[in-house]
Amino acid sequence: MLDPCGYDVGDHSHRSGRLAVAVWNAASGAEAKYHDGRRLEEAAAELANKCDIVICPEGDNDNRATFTGEGMTALWSEHGLQIFFSKAVLQPLTKRPTIDEVPGGHHRRSGTVVCQIFEQVTSGERVLVTAVHGGHYGSAEEPVGSTEQSLLYAAKAIEKIREVQRLVLSKGMADKVIIGGDFNELGDLIQADNDKFMPLPMSSSGKPMLPNCRGSIHAKNTLRVEPHKGSGKGTNKGHQQSIRVSADLIWVGGSGVNPSELKDHKGKAYGSDHSSVSMSGI
């Protein structure tokens, strides 16, 4: 039986050197049925109990208060992107994170990327944590890649996310590099071709800069999207089926990562339109 962070119940191995990370979109910007139906107390109680880092795109003041009420520290909580961490496990090594804009598609909104370097208290290892709330590059009905232009904008966004990580790592390499968040339409691209679109930093020759790279490849179809009226989606006349997108992802790499110990897990939605995603054994 798995807990919300993908551990077998009773397994506390992350407290002796391995980290657990979760991503949960808190739906502050979602339509009313998700915003009003989200279960903040349940999400915070479960995710904070087993995870050392929780990344919440679309967070708000209520979400921040609920997670900090469970003992987590809020690192960043503007632009709708929140990062919570356990001070017993991780200590920030800089006063402020590195923040940048992720370019959006043509006439579509941009996103945000936030990077923070930590020291892991139990091991002394350096850990780079990057949180992402992607822009938009297409739609469920017109996915990225349906036009050459949309693919070009998406590739630029991925490169910006990598560039910010490279900038932080140029000031001192990390033993573990973790990136997670709501990538929106970029998520399906990453899942379909992670050799090309993996969000971890790449070299100028297009090769991974880090060893032991792995993503939450088992956590698919995390976002439920309702088609626009008149889209023609659905099998029955007058009925439109929701569309699933693999928007929410976690990727890790580095010399301190052992791929054989990693477990990724698609968890509860807690009333959001996004399912939570977690990875343990980092």
Q: In the structure, what pLDDT confidence band is assigned to residue 16 with cuts at 50, 70 and 90?
A: low
- The answer to whether residues 69 and 62 touch, using CB atoms and an 8 Å cutoff, is no
| Cα 208 to Cα 200: distance, rounded to the nearest angstrom | 7
Give which of 74, 22, 51 is closest to 180, Cα–Cα: 22
What's residue 204's pLDDT?
87
Q: Is the pLDDT of residue 11 over 60?
A: no
Model confidence, pTM: 0.90
155 Cβ contact partners less than 8 Å away, ≥ 6 residues apart: 197
Largest interatomic CA distance in the chain: 60
What's residue 6's pLDDT?
56
CA 238 and chain centroid, separation: 35
Give the pairing type, strands 21-23 and 53-57: parallel
| Cα 183 to Cα 136: distance, rounded to the nearest angstrom | 9
| Cα 123 to Cα 118: distance, rounded to the nearest angstrom | 12
Computed over every residue of the chain, the mean pLDDT equals 89
Q: What is the pLDDT of residues 28-58, one digit of tens each?
A: 988 889 999 999 999 999 999 999 999 999 9
Q: Is the pLDDT of residue 157 over 50?
A: yes
| Cα 173 to Cα 116: distance, rounded to the nearest angstrom | 12
Q: Is residue 82 helix, strand or coil?
A: strand
What's residue 77's pLDDT?
78
Q: In the structure, what pLDDT confidence band is assigned to residue 142 with cuts at 50, 70 and 90?
A: confident
- The answer to whether residues 54 and 42 touch, using CB atoms and an 8 Å cutoff, is no
The kind and range of the H/E element at 180 are: strand 176-182
Q: What are phi and psi of 47, to 5 degrees?
A: -75, -40
Q: What is the pLDDT of residues 222-259, one digit of tens each?
A: 998 766 555 444 444 444 556 788 999 999 999 999 99
Q: What is the pLDDT of residues 73-124, one digit of tens each?
A: 999 877 889 999 999 999 999 999 999 999 999 889 999 999 999 999 999 9
Class (C level, CATH) for 13-280 = alpha beta
